[in-house]
Chain A
Amino acid sequence: MTAESLLHATSAPGERDAHAPVLDAQDIGMEFGGLVALRDIEMKIPAGGIISLIGPNGAGKTTFFNIVAGIFEPTRGTIRISGLPLIGPPRRAWAEPIVWITPAVLVLLVGYLLSLVTGNPVMLETGILIAMGVLIVSLLTAIIRPPWFRVALARLGIFKSAQPHHMVRAGIGRTFQNIRLFQNMSALENVQVGMHLQLHSTPVDALIASSRQTKEEEASRVRARELMAMVGLAGRDDELARNLPYGDQRRLELARALGNDPSLLLLDEPTAGMNPNETAEMTKLIGKLRDTLGVAVLLIEHDMHVVMGISDRITVLDHGEQIAEGTPEEVRRNPKVIEAYLGAPE
């Protein structure tokens, strides 16, 4: 894990490695206490591919999702996003507090030495005061974790798994199993929040109402309307998200996930609770998004029509283990898969 690779993780999407797979998960393992939730999961998603993750309830599908989204830290393995190693178990995490404290200790030592040399205790007192200030600043830096700080830590060999917003920056958008919209914000605002990383005006821009701010706001509204039209929600700008019908809420969440221009979309049961009509529309929509935007999709789904219909490849999980991987046709015929779903033959 080089410092440079982490540096790239925080740079613009355009600079991502175009040839590497969008997602490359190797040897992912996850334990909650003694419970093994995932074991040895391997997955590669090429740009523009649609991969489905299926399995019975409790197989670990959503756990895997949450690892990819940066919510859980896996206990084993690495995930590379467009070639950048972003997710893995922490390495040398114990060393991080040393980094926080070192500057303050150095200041303290200098103060002490100066007071010894000059024989003036004021030097030590000032040293203590300055050291406290330095300690506060370094703790703040550690909490805010600016990109340069993560790079500096990486130089020292200290690695911590990326947080959700880092993953978004690396090009991952997601929806949730049970819709998590910003219920009391308008549909348009929801999508605008989804475009957070595409906007660059600072709070200062907002305070002085700079031209950059006003132009960007206008542009973001235009783009948000485009995205809403793309998922079939044109003209519903000012409706509160909570007042939209269930199917439209799913669509809105999809539009929001597209806001940051992701290269990989994580969809957690996008057709859950939908009637066959809506399901067919959603399936079509996912295919359309892949074709028009070139976005790769990782899909968790229980509806086999959807899965068999649009997936390029399918990964099957059961009890945290990957029991099959292949094209829909291969998976359909795989005896292990049939066993997992229908039970072992008598």
Chain B
Amino acid sequence: MSIQNDVIRPQGQSPRERLNERLAPVTAFLAAHRSLSVLIGMTLVGIALPLIILLPPFSTFQSSSAWLNNFTLAGVYILLALGLNIVVGLAGLLDLGYAAFFAIGSYAYAFGASPFSGIHIPFWPMLIIGALVAMIFGVLLGAPTLRLRGDYLAIVTLGFGEIVPIVFKNSDTYTRGTNGISSIYPPELLGYRFSTIELLPFYIVMLCIVAFAMILIYRLQDSRLGRSWMAIREDELAAASNGINTVTTKLLAFSLGASTAGLAGVFSASKLTFAGPDQFIFAVSFTVLAMVVLGGMGNIWGVAVGAFVLYMIQNVLLKGLNQFFDIIHVPIISDINFIQYQFLLYGLALVLMMLLRPEGLFPSKRRRQELHTAEAGGDEAVTPADEAGGVLS
């Protein structure tokens, strides 16, 4: 969408609108050159984050290397959320077992580069191999299940998400079962070997991968394929009646979403130098789904920011609260382990979200319009009442 078409408001301009007007040429340029704007945005964010954590409220929280560590791992979740956004946000297929592809990516790297398997394929080609392997499994899961719709698809994917970690857990000879595969080789670049102590290189690589993924997903979204995904989300029969092969289109959504998770898996395995079945429990799938919904389904930047914020709340804020109350010794509250309540918080956040801001924190323009026209003046659009009898009759 290269055209910025704001809703026309009758009289008077707020300062914010005036600012918007002044910035209009800039936003138009950025909208027209999306890849460039993603690069600029990611560079700015990438520079700003390590600087912000040197300032007082953040610097007292935890050490800067701990912050960088958190940022890097948040990047993994951003990637996952971006990938799931293709499946859920664009194509409208509810996938509750997304962590399975994450696991497949991780284990692919663990097999490709660890003393356990005795193979050492460099990190960079493994990124692509991991994505491809996850993609193949995406097709394998998708092919038989994509005739299902809505709830039924969710149930099958949920099952797949449970099965994959269990398979990794139980095939002892190949994966060392519950112990997981450890001391996986970290990446190397031009002779420089990444280490778990020096975190900045990981951070930069993560930024690059996220920026790369965002650019690619933006391009897909604005293409013929992206339109087909949205058409299927809106009305599958109408999509088929306009020449879209719904099976292959949905398969592509599934496999491209899976490949993004594969990328995230490879990176995460190389960063943690470990891949074990407990990393890929249902909670991961659920967390990523919550990130997509909270961030604003269908909006790439929104989903990325949503993932970042949720990850930070989960892994920094709640831990910080624990430490804080431990130190100041407030009775009862000090005994609470806030991390245990994170799912309660998710639940609360999701319920509040659906009540107050159903389009997500950072909605795409489309979705905001979609969810608020009903209140504003939706009676203009007359929709035929009898949807169900459409095909037959």
Residues of A within 8 A of B (CB): 62-63, 66, 69, 71, 136, 139-140, 143-145, 163-165, 168-169, 173-174, 176-186, 189, 192-194, 196-197, 199, 201, 203, 205-207, 209, 213, 216-217, 237-238, 240, 242-246, 249, 256-257, 259-260, 273
Q: A165-B246, A193-B231 are in contact. Are A143 and B143 (CB under 8 A)?
A: yes
Q: How far is the CA of A90 from the CA of B219 in the complex (A)?
A: 41
Q: Which of A173, A182, A192 contacts B234 (CB 8 A)?
A: A182
B382 → chain A closest CB, angstroms: 4
Q: How far is the CA of A49 from the CA of B219 in the complex (A)?
A: 42
Q: Which of B369, B381, B384 contacts A178 (CB 8 A)?
A: B384
Q: Which of A62, A165, A207, A243 contacts B393 (CB 8 A)?
A: A62
Given pairs A143-B144, A238-B3, 18 additional interface contacts (CB within 8 A): A140-B139, A144-B247, A168-B243, A174-B241, A177-B393, A178-B389, A182-B231, A182-B235, A185-B366, A194-B242, A196-B242, A196-B243, A203-B220, A206-B219, A238-B5, A240-B366, A242-B381, A243-B381
Q: Which residues of B contact A205 (CB under 8 A)?
A: 223
Chain B, residue nearest A183 (CB): B234
B51 → chain A closest CB, angstroms: 32
Interface string of B245-284 (1 = CB under 8 A from A): 1111001100010000000000000000000000000000
Q: Which residues of A contact B239 (CB under 8 A)?
A: 182, 193
Q: Determine if A176 and B219 form an interchain contact, defined as CB atoms under 8 angstroms apart.
A: no
Q: Which residues of B contact A136 (CB under 8 A)?
A: 140
Q: Which residues of A contact B230 (CB under 8 A)?
A: 182, 184-185, 189, 193
Q: Which of B216, B220, B373, B387 contacts A242 (CB 8 A)?
A: B373
- For this complex, 21 residue pairs linking A to B, each with C-beta atoms less than 8 Å apart, are A62-B392, A71-B391, A139-B143, A178-B387, A178-B390, A179-B384, A180-B237, A181-B235, A181-B238, A184-B234, A186-B1, A193-B242, A199-B224, A206-B220, A213-B223, A217-B224, A238-B5, A243-B378, A243-B381, A257-B242, A273-B384
Q: Determine if A243 and B238 form an interchain contact, defined as CB atoms under 8 angstroms apart.
A: no
B328 → chain A closest CB, angstroms: 50
A229 → chain B closest CB, angstroms: 17
Interface presence of B375 (CB below 8 A): no
Interface presence of B69 (CB below 8 A): no
A282 → chain B closest CB, angstroms: 16
Q: Determine if A165 and B383 form an interchain contact, defined as CB atoms under 8 angstroms apart.
A: no
Q: Determine if B223 and A240 form an interchain contact, defined as CB atoms under 8 angstroms apart.
A: no
Interface presence of B244 (CB below 8 A): yes
Q: Which residues of A contact B172 (CB under 8 A)?
A: none
Chain A, residue nearest B369 (CB): A240
Q: How far is the CA of A189 from the CA of B380 in the complex (A)?
A: 20
Interface presence of B154 (CB below 8 A): no
Interface presence of B312 (CB below 8 A): no
Q: A185-B234, A206-B224 are in contact. Are A245 and B381 (CB under 8 A)?
A: yes
Interface of B is mostly: helix
Q: Determine if A245 and B380 form an interchain contact, defined as CB atoms under 8 angstroms apart.
A: yes
Instruction: Identify the 10 closest CB pairs spanning chains A and B, nearest first.
Output: A206-B223, A168-B243, A178-B384, A182-B234, A164-B240, A180-B238, A197-B243, A246-B382, A196-B243, A193-B231
Q: How far is the CA of A185 from the CA of B234 in the complex (A)?
A: 8
Interface string of B357-382 (1 = CB under 8 A from A): 00000000011011001000010111
B297 → chain A closest CB, angstroms: 11
B231, B239, B389, most chain A CB atoms within 10 A: B231
B6 → chain A closest CB, angstroms: 10
Q: Which residues of A contact B350 (CB under 8 A)?
A: none
A338 → chain B closest CB, angstroms: 25
Q: Which residues of B contact A178 (CB under 8 A)?
A: 384, 386-387, 389-390
Q: Which residues of B contact A240 (CB under 8 A)?
A: 366, 369-370, 373
Q: Which of A176, A201, A249 contacts B223 (CB 8 A)?
A: A201
Interface presence of B227 (CB below 8 A): yes
Interface presence of B299 (CB below 8 A): no
Chain B, residue nearest A189 (CB): B227
B289 → chain A closest CB, angstroms: 20
Q: Determine if A185 and B390 form an interchain contact, defined as CB atoms under 8 angstroms apart.
A: no
Q: Which of A181, A184, A201, A216 contacts B366 (CB 8 A)?
A: A184
B86 → chain A closest CB, angstroms: 12
Q: Determine if B224 and A259 form an interchain contact, defined as CB atoms under 8 angstroms apart.
A: no
Chain B, residue nearest A63 (CB): B392
Interface string of B1-14 (1 = CB under 8 A from A): 10101000000000
Interface presence of B339 (CB below 8 A): no
Q: How far is the CA of A242 from the CA of B370 in the complex (A)?
A: 9
Interface presence of B35 (CB below 8 A): yes
Q: How far is the CA of A163 from the CA of B245 in the complex (A)?
A: 9
Interface presence of B285 (CB below 8 A): no
Chain A, residue nearest B235 (CB): A180
B83 → chain A closest CB, angstroms: 15
B286 → chain A closest CB, angstroms: 26
Interface presence of B228 (CB below 8 A): yes
Task: Tell me the residues in window 84-111 of chain B with beta carbons closer than 8 Å to chain A beta carbons.
Answer: none
Q: How far is the CA of A136 from the CA of B246 in the complex (A)?
A: 20
Q: Determine if A196 and B382 form an interchain contact, defined as CB atoms under 8 angstroms apart.
A: no
Q: How far is the CA of A221 from the CA of B273 in the complex (A)?
A: 49
Q: Which residues of B contact A206 (CB under 8 A)?
A: 219-220, 222-226
Q: Which residues of B contact A196 (CB under 8 A)?
A: 224, 227-228, 242-244
Q: Determine if B366 and A176 form an interchain contact, defined as CB atoms under 8 angstroms apart.
A: no
Q: Which of B244, B366, B373, B381 contacts A193 (CB 8 A)?
A: B244
Q: A178-B387, A206-B220, A243-B373 are in contact. Are A260 and B242 (CB under 8 A)?
A: yes
Q: Which of B231, B234, B246, B390 contacts A177 (CB 8 A)?
A: B390
Q: Which of B1, B243, B373 contacts A169 (CB 8 A)?
A: B243
Q: How far is the CA of A184 from the CA of B140 in the complex (A)?
A: 31
Q: Determine if A203 and B225 form an interchain contact, defined as CB atoms under 8 angstroms apart.
A: yes
Q: How far is the CA of A299 from the CA of B317 in the complex (A)?
A: 63
Q: Which residues of B contact A192 (CB under 8 A)?
A: 224, 227
Q: Which residues of A contact B243 (CB under 8 A)?
A: 165, 168-169, 196-197, 260
Chain B, residue nearest A174 (CB): B241
Q: Determine if B251 and A144 form an interchain contact, defined as CB atoms under 8 angstroms apart.
A: yes
Q: A143-B247, A193-B228, A209-B219 are in contact. Are A165 and B382 (CB under 8 A)?
A: no
Q: Which of A62, A168, A213, A238 contacts B242 (CB 8 A)?
A: A168
B156 → chain A closest CB, angstroms: 15
Q: How far is the CA of A257 from the CA of B226 in the complex (A)?
A: 19
Chain A, residue nearest B139 (CB): A140
Chain B, residue nearest A140 (CB): B143
Q: How far is the CA of A185 from the CA of B251 in the complex (A)?
A: 22
Q: Which residues of A contact B251 (CB under 8 A)?
A: 144
Chain B, residue nearest A243 (CB): B381
Q: Which residues of B contact A238 (CB under 8 A)?
A: 3, 5
A165, A176, A259, most chain B CB atoms within 10 A: A165
